[in-house]
Copies of this chain bind each other. A is one copy, B any other.
Amino acid sequence: MQPEPLPDSLFDAPPLAEQERMVEAILFAVPEPMNEAAISNRLPMGCDAKAALEVLRGRYQGRGVQLVKVGEAWAFRTAPDLGFLLSRETVETRKLSRAAIETLAIIAYHQPVTRAEIEEIRGVSVSRGTVDQLIELDWVKLGRRKMTPGRPVTLVVTPHFLDHFGLESARDLPGIKELREAGLLDNRPMPGSLDEPVEEGDDEDQDEMFDWKEG
């Protein structure tokens, strides 16, 4: 491009320390890891990108940011042990799904209870995800296996569950009768159905369940 010979000084490479600064700035600013040839292209003529990179890598050794080689290219990366500082946890609270809360209620009232029993009570199958979710929330845990054929695992509520719902024990959960008295049970009877006897039965059921639970 330039036919005239340029003064020598233009070809004098800057000192290695300056080359190191240059490589540092380049690798900091470029949007992608850059290989040695590309770095060389950016540097003034006569620079030794390889040597500068090595010095620079040494300088960042043990720092919070490190100069790493990604394939043939170089890039600054956060030191692996500090990655935790860069993840920002945003905690979002959502209401438990209907399936999950019903499953939880059944476990609380009927513990220890197997999945099959939960399904029997809910009348629909219980997805694995639902139980996993309750376990993850530390509201439910696996209890002892039932001494029935197949030895199915049981589910029980955790101390954390009691803590969260402000209960001393699962026995403190109100019975059906109390729920009805508290207006939590839909009181509309089915046309022609005998409401009262059914209710008695339910209450008995509950007592029985607790006995069974402890047997």
Taking beta carbons and an 8 Å cutoff, which residues of A are in contact with B?
A: 20-26, 28-31, 42-43, 62-65, 76, 78-79, 82, 85-86, 89
Contact = CB atoms under 8 A, between A and B. Distances in A.
A65 B76 CA distance: 12
Number of identical protomers: 2
Contacts of A22: 64, 82, 85
- Which of A22, A43, A76: most chain B CB closer than 10 A? A22
B28 A65 contact: yes
A64 B55 CA distance: 13
5 contacts: A25-B64, A25-B78, A28-B65, A28-B76, A31-B89
A30 B89 contact: yes
B24 A64 contact: yes
A30 B87 CA distance: 11
A86 B21 contact: no
Contacts of A43: 85
Contacts of A29: 78, 86, 89
A74 to B, nearest CB: 14
Given A24-B64, A28-B64, A42 B85 contact: yes
Contacts of A20: 64
B28 A85 contact: no
Nearest to A80: B25
A31 B86 CA distance: 11
B79 A21 contact: yes
Given A25-B86, A29-B89, A30-B89, 16 more contacts: A20-B64, A21-B62, A21-B63, A21-B82, A22-B64, A22-B82, A23-B64, A24-B63, A24-B65, A25-B64, A25-B65, A25-B85, A28-B64, A28-B76, A29-B78, A30-B86
